[in-house]
Amino acid sequence: MLQVLFGGLIDGCVYALVAVGMSLVYSITRVINLAQGGFVVLAALVTVSLQAAGVPPLVALVVVLVGFAALLAGVDRAVLRPAARRIGNQRMLLVTVGLLQAISGLLLVVWGNLPYTGRPFTAGRPWTVTAGALGGVTVQPQQVWIVALLLVAVLALAGLLRYTELGLTMRATASRPDAARLVGVDTDRIRLIAFGLSGAMAALAGAAVVPITFLQFDTTTSYAVSGFVAAVLGGLGSIGGAVLGGLLLGVVEGVFSRYTGSSLAQVAAIGLLIGLLLVRPAGLLGRAEEVRR
Protein backbone atom coordinates (compact mmCIF):
# COMPACT_ATOMS: atom_id res chain seq x y z
CA MET A 1 0.00 0.00 0.00
CA LEU A 2 2.79 2.37 0.88
CA GLN A 3 4.35 1.75 -2.51
CA VAL A 4 1.10 2.66 -4.17
CA LEU A 5 0.81 5.84 -2.14
CA PHE A 6 4.36 6.75 -2.96
CA GLY A 7 3.78 6.16 -6.67
CA GLY A 8 0.68 8.31 -6.48
CA LEU A 9 2.63 11.02 -4.72
CA ILE A 10 5.17 11.07 -7.52
CA ASP A 11 2.43 11.33 -10.12
CA GLY A 12 1.02 14.05 -7.95
CA CYS A 13 4.25 15.99 -8.15
CA VAL A 14 3.95 16.03 -11.90
CA TYR A 15 0.32 17.14 -11.73
CA ALA A 16 1.40 19.78 -9.25
CA LEU A 17 3.90 21.20 -11.71
CA VAL A 18 1.25 21.35 -14.42
CA ALA A 19 -1.27 22.89 -12.06
CA VAL A 20 1.17 25.49 -10.81
CA GLY A 21 1.80 26.58 -14.38
CA MET A 22 -1.93 26.81 -15.01
CA SER A 23 -2.66 28.64 -11.78
CA LEU A 24 0.13 31.13 -12.36
CA VAL A 25 -1.13 31.96 -15.83
CA TYR A 26 -4.68 32.12 -14.54
CA SER A 27 -3.77 34.57 -11.83
CA ILE A 28 -2.31 37.01 -14.33
CA THR A 29 -4.64 36.49 -17.27
CA ARG A 30 -7.81 35.00 -15.79
CA VAL A 31 -7.58 32.34 -18.50
CA ILE A 32 -7.03 28.64 -17.87
CA ASN A 33 -4.51 27.39 -20.38
CA LEU A 34 -5.54 23.80 -20.98
CA ALA A 35 -2.82 23.56 -23.60
CA GLN A 36 -0.39 23.30 -20.69
CA GLY A 37 -1.05 19.56 -20.76
CA GLY A 38 0.06 19.49 -24.36
CA PHE A 39 3.28 21.36 -23.65
CA VAL A 40 4.17 18.86 -20.96
CA VAL A 41 4.05 15.97 -23.42
CA LEU A 42 5.79 18.05 -26.07
CA ALA A 43 8.60 18.81 -23.64
CA ALA A 44 8.81 15.14 -22.78
CA LEU A 45 9.12 14.02 -26.39
CA VAL A 46 11.59 16.76 -27.24
CA THR A 47 13.67 15.57 -24.29
CA VAL A 48 13.54 12.03 -25.60
CA SER A 49 14.67 13.14 -29.03
CA LEU A 50 17.49 15.21 -27.60
CA GLN A 51 18.64 12.28 -25.53
CA ALA A 52 18.44 10.04 -28.59
CA ALA A 53 20.66 12.54 -30.40
CA GLY A 54 23.29 12.06 -27.73
CA VAL A 55 22.61 14.98 -25.47
CA PRO A 56 23.18 14.10 -21.82
CA PRO A 57 19.93 14.04 -19.87
CA LEU A 58 20.73 16.92 -17.56
CA VAL A 59 21.83 19.14 -20.43
CA ALA A 60 18.67 18.22 -22.28
CA LEU A 61 16.71 19.25 -19.22
CA VAL A 62 18.25 22.70 -19.21
CA VAL A 63 17.78 23.12 -22.94
CA VAL A 64 14.13 22.16 -22.72
CA LEU A 65 13.63 24.38 -19.70
CA VAL A 66 14.91 27.47 -21.43
CA GLY A 67 13.38 26.55 -24.74
CA PHE A 68 9.90 26.05 -23.38
CA ALA A 69 9.98 29.20 -21.33
CA ALA A 70 10.60 31.02 -24.58
CA LEU A 71 8.08 28.91 -26.45
CA LEU A 72 5.22 29.61 -24.06
CA ALA A 73 6.00 33.30 -24.07
CA GLY A 74 5.93 33.18 -27.84
CA VAL A 75 2.64 31.30 -27.89
CA ASP A 76 1.11 33.92 -25.67
CA ARG A 77 2.31 36.69 -27.89
CA ALA A 78 1.31 35.04 -31.16
CA VAL A 79 -1.85 33.18 -30.29
CA LEU A 80 -3.34 33.83 -26.89
CA ARG A 81 -2.98 37.55 -26.51
CA PRO A 82 -4.56 38.38 -29.87
CA ALA A 83 -7.42 36.07 -28.98
CA ALA A 84 -7.81 37.52 -25.50
CA ARG A 85 -8.11 40.99 -26.96
CA ARG A 86 -11.05 39.94 -29.04
CA ILE A 87 -13.07 37.41 -27.15
CA GLY A 88 -14.37 36.66 -23.69
CA ASN A 89 -12.99 34.20 -21.21
CA GLN A 90 -15.40 31.38 -21.92
CA ARG A 91 -14.35 31.23 -25.54
CA MET A 92 -10.72 31.51 -24.49
CA LEU A 93 -11.12 28.20 -22.73
CA LEU A 94 -12.08 26.68 -26.07
CA VAL A 95 -9.16 28.41 -27.76
CA THR A 96 -6.83 26.66 -25.36
CA VAL A 97 -8.63 23.41 -26.13
CA GLY A 98 -7.96 24.05 -29.80
CA LEU A 99 -4.35 24.76 -29.00
CA LEU A 100 -4.17 21.52 -27.00
CA GLN A 101 -5.60 19.67 -29.95
CA ALA A 102 -3.10 21.31 -32.29
CA ILE A 103 -0.20 20.28 -30.08
CA SER A 104 -1.47 16.71 -30.04
CA GLY A 105 -1.66 16.92 -33.79
CA LEU A 106 1.89 18.19 -33.98
CA LEU A 107 3.05 15.35 -31.76
CA LEU A 108 1.29 12.89 -34.03
CA VAL A 109 2.90 14.28 -37.14
CA VAL A 110 6.43 14.51 -35.78
CA TRP A 111 6.58 11.58 -33.41
CA GLY A 112 3.81 9.34 -34.71
CA ASN A 113 1.47 7.38 -32.53
CA LEU A 114 4.10 5.39 -30.64
CA PRO A 115 4.74 5.63 -26.93
CA TYR A 116 8.11 7.03 -25.83
CA THR A 117 10.16 6.90 -22.73
CA GLY A 118 13.44 8.50 -21.81
CA ARG A 119 16.63 7.96 -19.83
CA PRO A 120 16.79 8.98 -16.21
CA PHE A 121 18.83 12.05 -15.33
CA THR A 122 21.29 10.15 -13.26
CA ALA A 123 22.11 6.53 -13.50
CA GLY A 124 21.56 4.56 -10.38
CA ARG A 125 19.87 1.58 -8.87
CA PRO A 126 16.60 1.91 -7.08
CA TRP A 127 16.82 1.45 -3.36
CA THR A 128 14.34 0.30 -0.84
CA VAL A 129 13.20 2.08 2.24
CA THR A 130 11.46 0.04 4.85
CA ALA A 131 9.00 1.42 7.32
CA GLY A 132 8.60 -1.51 9.58
CA ALA A 133 5.08 -2.87 9.72
CA LEU A 134 3.88 -0.51 6.99
CA GLY A 135 5.98 -2.34 4.48
CA GLY A 136 8.65 -1.06 2.19
CA VAL A 137 8.94 1.43 -0.60
CA THR A 138 11.22 1.06 -3.60
CA VAL A 139 12.45 4.42 -4.71
CA GLN A 140 13.95 5.11 -8.10
CA PRO A 141 16.49 7.91 -8.45
CA GLN A 142 14.36 9.64 -11.08
CA GLN A 143 11.51 9.82 -8.63
CA VAL A 144 13.75 11.67 -6.23
CA TRP A 145 14.59 14.03 -9.06
CA ILE A 146 10.91 14.70 -9.62
CA VAL A 147 10.30 15.58 -6.00
CA ALA A 148 13.45 17.66 -5.87
CA LEU A 149 12.58 19.57 -9.02
CA LEU A 150 9.08 20.28 -7.74
CA LEU A 151 10.50 21.60 -4.49
CA VAL A 152 13.10 23.73 -6.23
CA ALA A 153 10.57 25.09 -8.69
CA VAL A 154 7.96 25.93 -6.09
CA LEU A 155 10.48 27.46 -3.70
CA ALA A 156 12.05 29.49 -6.48
CA LEU A 157 8.66 30.68 -7.62
CA ALA A 158 7.57 31.52 -4.10
CA GLY A 159 10.83 33.34 -3.55
CA LEU A 160 10.38 35.28 -6.75
CA LEU A 161 6.85 36.26 -5.89
CA ARG A 162 7.50 37.21 -2.31
CA TYR A 163 10.97 38.76 -2.25
CA THR A 164 11.52 40.45 -5.58
CA GLU A 165 10.06 43.57 -7.06
CA LEU A 166 9.01 41.67 -10.14
CA GLY A 167 7.19 39.27 -7.89
CA LEU A 168 5.42 42.10 -6.15
CA THR A 169 4.36 43.54 -9.47
CA MET A 170 3.10 40.14 -10.53
CA ARG A 171 1.09 39.68 -7.37
CA ALA A 172 -0.39 43.14 -7.74
CA THR A 173 -1.32 42.45 -11.32
CA ALA A 174 -2.86 39.18 -10.27
CA SER A 175 -5.13 40.64 -7.65
CA ARG A 176 -6.20 43.77 -9.54
CA PRO A 177 -5.29 43.65 -13.22
CA ASP A 178 -7.19 46.83 -14.11
CA ALA A 179 -5.64 48.79 -11.28
CA ALA A 180 -2.20 47.54 -12.19
CA ARG A 181 -2.61 48.77 -15.73
CA LEU A 182 -3.73 52.18 -14.51
CA VAL A 183 -0.70 52.47 -12.31
CA GLY A 184 1.50 51.93 -15.34
CA VAL A 185 2.44 48.30 -15.00
CA ASP A 186 3.32 46.79 -18.35
CA THR A 187 0.82 43.98 -18.07
CA ASP A 188 1.85 42.53 -21.41
CA ARG A 189 5.35 42.03 -20.09
CA ILE A 190 4.01 40.47 -16.92
CA ARG A 191 1.92 38.12 -19.04
CA LEU A 192 4.98 37.06 -20.99
CA ILE A 193 6.88 36.38 -17.80
CA ALA A 194 4.02 34.37 -16.35
CA PHE A 195 3.76 32.30 -19.49
CA GLY A 196 7.51 31.86 -19.59
CA LEU A 197 7.48 30.56 -16.04
CA SER A 198 4.62 28.21 -16.81
CA GLY A 199 6.58 26.98 -19.82
CA ALA A 200 9.45 26.18 -17.50
CA MET A 201 7.03 24.27 -15.26
CA ALA A 202 5.74 22.30 -18.21
CA ALA A 203 9.27 21.52 -19.29
CA LEU A 204 10.24 20.32 -15.83
CA ALA A 205 7.16 18.16 -15.61
CA GLY A 206 7.59 16.58 -19.01
CA ALA A 207 11.33 16.08 -18.93
CA ALA A 208 11.30 14.70 -15.42
CA VAL A 209 8.45 12.26 -15.84
CA VAL A 210 9.24 10.73 -19.22
CA PRO A 211 12.02 8.47 -17.88
CA ILE A 212 9.61 6.66 -15.61
CA THR A 213 6.56 6.38 -17.84
CA PHE A 214 5.46 6.14 -21.44
CA LEU A 215 4.02 9.19 -23.13
CA GLN A 216 2.51 9.70 -26.54
CA PHE A 217 0.55 12.15 -28.58
CA ASP A 218 -2.81 11.60 -26.88
CA THR A 219 -1.61 11.70 -23.29
CA THR A 220 -2.05 15.43 -23.59
CA THR A 221 -5.74 15.46 -22.71
CA SER A 222 -5.14 13.50 -19.55
CA TYR A 223 -2.52 15.92 -18.25
CA ALA A 224 -4.66 18.88 -19.26
CA VAL A 225 -7.66 17.61 -17.34
CA SER A 226 -5.58 16.54 -14.35
CA GLY A 227 -3.82 19.89 -14.22
CA PHE A 228 -7.13 21.71 -14.52
CA VAL A 229 -8.74 19.72 -11.75
CA ALA A 230 -5.71 20.09 -9.49
CA ALA A 231 -5.48 23.82 -10.08
CA VAL A 232 -9.16 24.41 -9.37
CA LEU A 233 -9.10 22.01 -6.45
CA GLY A 234 -6.30 23.96 -4.88
CA GLY A 235 -8.05 27.23 -5.55
CA LEU A 236 -7.46 29.02 -8.83
CA GLY A 237 -4.63 31.47 -8.60
CA SER A 238 -3.06 29.91 -5.54
CA ILE A 239 0.36 28.36 -6.15
CA GLY A 240 0.38 26.50 -2.88
CA GLY A 241 -3.11 25.30 -3.58
CA ALA A 242 -2.08 24.00 -6.98
CA VAL A 243 0.68 21.98 -5.37
CA LEU A 244 -1.69 20.58 -2.78
CA GLY A 245 -4.29 19.86 -5.42
CA GLY A 246 -1.82 18.06 -7.61
CA LEU A 247 -0.46 15.92 -4.81
CA LEU A 248 -3.94 15.06 -3.59
CA LEU A 249 -5.05 14.06 -7.06
CA GLY A 250 -2.00 11.86 -7.51
CA VAL A 251 -2.48 10.11 -4.21
CA VAL A 252 -6.21 9.51 -4.71
CA GLU A 253 -5.48 8.14 -8.15
CA GLY A 254 -2.87 5.83 -6.69
CA VAL A 255 -5.26 4.55 -4.08
CA PHE A 256 -7.96 3.88 -6.65
CA SER A 257 -5.53 2.08 -8.94
CA ARG A 258 -5.11 -0.54 -6.24
CA TYR A 259 -8.64 -1.66 -6.91
CA THR A 260 -9.26 -0.84 -10.54
CA GLY A 261 -7.29 -0.45 -13.74
CA SER A 262 -5.14 2.64 -14.04
CA SER A 263 -7.21 4.53 -16.60
CA LEU A 264 -10.38 4.01 -14.63
CA ALA A 265 -8.51 5.03 -11.52
CA GLN A 266 -7.54 8.32 -13.05
CA VAL A 267 -11.02 9.02 -14.26
CA ALA A 268 -12.54 8.02 -10.92
CA ALA A 269 -10.11 10.20 -8.98
CA ILE A 270 -10.95 13.19 -11.12
CA GLY A 271 -14.64 12.54 -10.72
CA LEU A 272 -14.31 12.31 -6.96
CA LEU A 273 -12.35 15.51 -6.66
CA ILE A 274 -14.77 17.40 -8.87
CA GLY A 275 -17.48 16.14 -6.58
CA LEU A 276 -15.55 17.60 -3.66
CA LEU A 277 -15.40 20.86 -5.50
CA LEU A 278 -19.15 21.01 -5.59
CA VAL A 279 -19.10 20.99 -1.83
CA ARG A 280 -16.38 23.57 -1.56
CA PRO A 281 -16.29 25.35 -4.91
CA ALA A 282 -13.53 27.76 -4.07
CA GLY A 283 -11.11 24.91 -3.63
CA LEU A 284 -8.71 24.28 -0.79
CA LEU A 285 -7.00 27.64 -0.71
CA GLY A 286 -9.18 29.69 -2.97
CA ARG A 287 -11.55 32.59 -2.42
CA ALA A 288 -15.29 32.07 -2.41
CA GLU A 289 -16.29 35.34 -4.12
CA GLU A 290 -14.81 34.22 -7.38
CA VAL A 291 -17.15 31.32 -7.69
CA ARG A 292 -20.86 32.03 -7.46
CA ARG A 293 -22.90 34.65 -9.21
User: Which residue among 1, 159, 258, 290 contacts other proteins (CB under 8 A)?
Assistant: 290
Q: Does 271 bind other proteins (CB under 8 A)?
A: yes
Which H or E element spans position 69?
Answer: helix 57-75
> Which positions from 17 to 56 touch other proteins by CB under 8 A, shown as an x/- string?
---------------x------------------------
| Residue closer to other proteins, measured from CB, 196 or 237 | 237
Q: How many CA atoms lie within 13 A of 161 on its CB side?
A: 21
Using the contact rule CB under 8 A, the part of the chain among 3-11, 131-139, 186-194, 227-235 near other proteins is: 227-235
User: Minimum distance between the CB of residue 232 and other proteins, rounded to whole angstroms?
Assistant: 5
User: Minimum distance between the CB of residue 94 and other proteins, rounded to whole angstroms?
Assistant: 5
Q: Give, in order, the Cα–Cα distances in Å from 47 to each of 39, 106, 117.
A: 12, 15, 9
CA distance 252 to 249: 5
User: Which residue among 70, 79, 147, 172 contacts other proteins (CB under 8 A)?
Assistant: 79
Q: Pick from 1, 74, 57: which is nearest to 212 by CA?
A: 57
- State whether residue 280 is helix, strand or coil: coil
Q: How far is CA 196 from the centre of its chain?
A: 13
User: Minimum distance between the CB of residue 139 and other proteins, rounded to whole angstroms?
Assistant: 30
Using the contact rule CB under 8 A, the part of the chain among 59-67, 104-112, 130-138, 171-179 near other proteins is: 104-112
Q: Does 173 bind other proteins (CB under 8 A)?
A: no
CB atoms < 10 A from the CB of 26, how many? 22
- 91-127: burial string, b at 16+ Cβ within 10 Å, e else: ebeebbeebbeebbeebeeebeeeebebbbbeeeeee
Using the contact rule CB under 8 A, the part of the chain among 85-93, 115-123, 129-137, 174-182 near other proteins is: 85-93
DSSP string of 115-160, one letter each residue: -B----SS----EEEE-GGG-EEEE-HHHHHHHHHHHHHHHHHHHH
User: Minimum distance between the CB of residue 287 and other proteins, rounded to whole angstroms?
Assistant: 12
User: Which residue among 55, 66, 70, 291 contacts other proteins (CB under 8 A)?
Assistant: 291
Question: In the range 249-268, which residues lie near other proteins by CB under 8 A?
Answer: 260, 263-264, 267-268
* Longest distance between any two alpha carbons in the chain, whole Å: 61
| Residue closer to other proteins, measured from CB, 138 or 263 | 263
Which H or E element spans position 161?
Answer: helix 141-163
User: Which residue among 3, 140, 213, 221 contacts other proteins (CB under 8 A)?
Assistant: 221
CA distance 44 to 208: 8
- State whether residue 256 is helix, strand or coil: helix
User: Minimum distance between the CB of residue 290 and other proteins, rounded to whole angstroms?
Assistant: 7
User: Which residue among 95, 201, 209, 230 contacts other proteins (CB under 8 A)?
Assistant: 95
| Residue closer to other proteins, measured from CB, 162 or 188 | 188
Q: Which residues of the shown chain bind other proteins in the complex (CB under 8 A)? A: 32, 79, 82-83, 86-91, 93-95, 97-106, 108-109, 217, 221, 225, 228-229, 232, 236, 260, 263-264, 267-268, 270-271, 274-275, 277-278, 281, 290-293
